[in-house]
Copies of this chain bind each other. A is one copy, B any other.
């Protein structure tokens, strides 16, 4: 089986490693960044670097580029592939992508995939083994892909020990804005606010504990990856951000009024997140 992975960063690189190790596939790579392409070769992530025009030889093509490039790239790659090859993406937004490939004659060769896995690091050097194990994988608009294509994708993600669920692409984008995209923004802005205040960074070193570290962790994430996500999923993210800001203002007013019972009630209700988090697969 010959697979080509387009985009050799954290996600594409980690998948390439697994495809070789767990499934014994031959893995070719494409990356517009020639330095990253060379790194991927040096790190043994892919067997060979090819150009995008050469993907026609592959049985499977994986799209692991920033989400703003995905719609056009998906159409282009579908034009190049052989009749029974499959293409899947690994992006964090799905509505526009699925809309763009909707009428492609090879739409059924395409599967929209979103493995819920990652770290705050980026680039080929961030690629790691076991990134996907025991996490959740989402396939969107499954009914628009051929059964064979879905089976091939499931074969890969089952081998990675992921649990796959199925969602409509529009629903996917709506929910992921809240449970993933919003937490990146809240974390980035926390980091920004503290950096602006603490010009003397020694104060941060000295006074910040593990709580701050945990809350601000996502502010280390890649701007190149996240800026396109925020723009692609703009409408849903703006809704979630407006609700978040409203909640902050309400809480701020409770503090202003020294409304102890209101503060406690709000926090008690939110403590319910404990039970919710226990249900998240590690």
Interface check A281, CB cutoff 8 A = yes
Interface check A34, CB cutoff 8 A = no
Judge whether A271 and B197 touch: CB under 8 Å: no
Choose among B208, B237, B281 the residue that contacts A205 (Cβ–Cβ < 8 A): B281
How long is the Cα–Cα vector from A229 to B195 in the complex, in angstroms?
Answer: 22
How long is the Cα–Cα vector from A260 to B207 in the complex, in angstroms?
Answer: 34
Interface hit among A75-83, A102-110, A142-150, A184-192: A184-192
Contacts of A279 in B (CB 8 A): 201, 204-205
Q: How many monomers of this chain does the complex have?
A: 2
Judge whether A248 and B184 touch: CB under 8 Å: no
Q: Are A231 and B255 also in contact (CB < 8 A) when A240-B197, A267-B223 are?
A: yes
Contacts of A271 in B (CB 8 A): 219-221, 223
Would you mind naming 25 contact pairs between A and B with Cβ atoms under 8 Å apart? A117-B209, A120-B211, A136-B207, A138-B206, A175-B203, A176-B207, A178-B198, A179-B212, A180-B208, A185-B248, A185-B251, A186-B215, A191-B270, A195-B276, A196-B247, A208-B280, A214-B214, A214-B218, A227-B267, A230-B255, A231-B258, A231-B263, A237-B255, A241-B251, A245-B248
